[in-house]
Structure 1
Amino acid sequence: MGRGRHAGYDDQRETILAQAAHLFATRGYSATSMNEVAEACGLSKATLYHYYRDKYALLFSIADTHVERLQGIVHDALSGTREPRTRMQALIKRLVEEYADAQDAHWVLTSEVRFLEPADRRRVLDRERALVAAFAQVVGDLRPDLKEAALSKPLTMLLFGMVNWMFTWMKPGGALDHDAMAPIVTDLFLGGLGAVQVPPAAPAHAAKTRRQA
């Protein structure tokens, strides 16, 4: 009879994925070795192979796990209400919150997934398409005329463009964090520039910036 998994096994796997994602995001998948992943995790290479058979398995797990988590977020956000506007608000809020702590995994998903074998890449991309379809459905529920004009998906992609790359310009400890940005993205997407509400902390930060200048 085989040995069962020890307590903390899943936590260790998540730690390994997080460290590998950071290395892949900063150095690139091709330039990262299993030795470097093991060192970043504080593990021996033999122990690392106990969790993941090779670097490719790490890459697939990072991408697949990230998309699976996003699918769970979408499912939870859509299960609370049938009202389209409230659904869209919940979707955007949860998506922005998730990306606040998943920047490395998101970078891997968008930039390194090309290294996956066709079947694995298709699995990940199919899951991404399902996410886009779920958002597009809510856009269509909000504006049936946009759905009829085949604009639901393009508008959804514009929304993802706002959210997906937020990490490239948001500075840790800056005036705006992901909690502050979620309602701004929602207001902008649903109501346009005129609907955006200024966060309470923004004026104080602006005054400080002017004084420093």
Structure 2
Amino acid sequence: MSAVAEKSSRRLSKEDILERTAPLFAAEGYAATSMRDLARACGITPAALYHHFTDKEQLYLEVLEYTFRRRIGRMGDALQGLTTFEDRVRKVVEVLVDAVHEDELFLPMLRRELLVRDEKRLEYLATRVFAEPFREIMRVGRDLPPGNFRPSFLAASALALTIGHYALEPVRRYLMPSDTPDDLRQAVIDHVTKLALHGMGTSAH
């Protein structure tokens, strides 16, 4: 490693590297991206990149965790102090909407993983990223009368309603171009919250 590259490697933290390589993985995918490409995105040599990560797979898994956890990994913190069922449902929706609203990494990377269906990476996402918010959403559902809903299905529905809305938004706006709200984020939060509460048999007001 050259003296310049070594100095550059020392300046870059692991988080810096995750920040700089995530957009490349999101745009090109795992298979089409080489360590040389990733090192170039960081402004360092491949050897300097290997100083932080044993291989491309380790780097990619840490990018996945970093990208997703910073968006939805603090669901429990967000729900602290909220006492009413309606407020907790709305906060769940807000956290999920904010994970994908105007974010150029979360949704593209999730789409790729669901399409490629690499079992190791899907298990990693489930256990290291989605497990905590999933449990927190299930806890919210436990405020409902027993037997109304399966908690795991309820949590999956919350994810599907919010993330799925943004996944379909590029098509929806062509289907109903006159019905595009000025504030899409707030419109989605309001819509999904009301839909969730109505479907749960509680007041949406």
TM-score by length of 1: 0.64
CA gap 1:106/1:117 in 2 versus in 1, 3 angstroms: same
Find the counterpart in structure 2 of residue 22 from structure 1. Answer: 23
Q: Please name the residue that 1:206 is paired with.
A: none
Q: Which runs of 5+ in 1 are unaligned?
A: 1-5, 193-213
> Which residue of 159, 162, 166 maps to 1:160?
162
User: C-alpha separation between the residues in 2 aligned to 1:189 and 1:42?
Assistant: 42
What does residue 189 of structure 1 align with? Answer: 192
For 1:188, give the aligned amino acid: H
Query: 2: distance between equivalents of 1:93 and 1:14?
Result: 26
Residues 115/75 of structure 1: CA separation in 2 closer, same or farther (3 Å cut): same
Residues 40, 115 of structure 1: alpha-carbon distance in 2 compared, 3 angstrom cutoff: farther
C-alpha distance 80-140 of structure 1, shift in aligned 2 (>3 A) = same
Q: Note the C-alpha offset of 1:27.
A: 1.4
What is the alpha-carbon distance in structure 2 between the residues aligned to residue 10 and residue 117 of structure 1? 35
2:89 touches 2:140 (CA, 8 Å); kept in 1?
yes
Q: Is the 8 A contact 2:73 2:132 kept in 1?
A: no
RMSD: 3.7
Q: Runs of 5+ in structure 2 lacking a partner?
A: 1-6, 174-179, 196-205
Deviates more, 1:125-134 or 1:44-53: 125-134
Q: State the 1:30 CA deviation.
A: 0.5
Q: CA 1:42–1:100 in 2, change beyond 3 Å: closer, same or farther?
A: farther
The 2-side partners of 1:10 and 1:95 are apart by: 34
TM-score using structure 2 length: 0.66
Aligned match of 1:198: none
Q: Aligned partners of 2:85 and 2:98: how far apart in 1?
A: 20
Q: How does 1:132-151 map to 2 (within 5 A)?
A: 132-139=134-141, 141=143, 143-144=144-145, 148-150=148-150
Corresponding position of 1:44: 45
> What is the CA-CA distance between 1:184 and the residue it aligns to?
1.3
For 1:181, give the aligned amino acid: L
The equivalent residue for 2:176 is none
Q: Secondary structure at the residue paired with 1:148? A: coil
Q: What pairs up with 1:68-147 in 2 under 5 angstroms?
A: 68-100=69-101, 102-112=103-113, 114=116, 118=120, 121-126=122-127, 127-139=129-141, 141=143, 143-144=144-145
Q: 1:100 to 1:153 in 2, by over 3 A?
A: closer
Instruction: Describe the SS at the equivalent of 1:29.
Output: coil
Instruction: Work out the number of aligned pairs and report it.
Output: 179
Shift of residue 125, structure 1, vs aligned partner = 1.2
Q: Distance between the aligned counterparts of 1:176 and 1:45, measured in 2?
A: 46
> CA offset at residue 163 of structure 1?
5.2
Q: Is the 8 A contact 1:100 1:167 kept in 2?
A: no
Report sequence identity in percent.
24
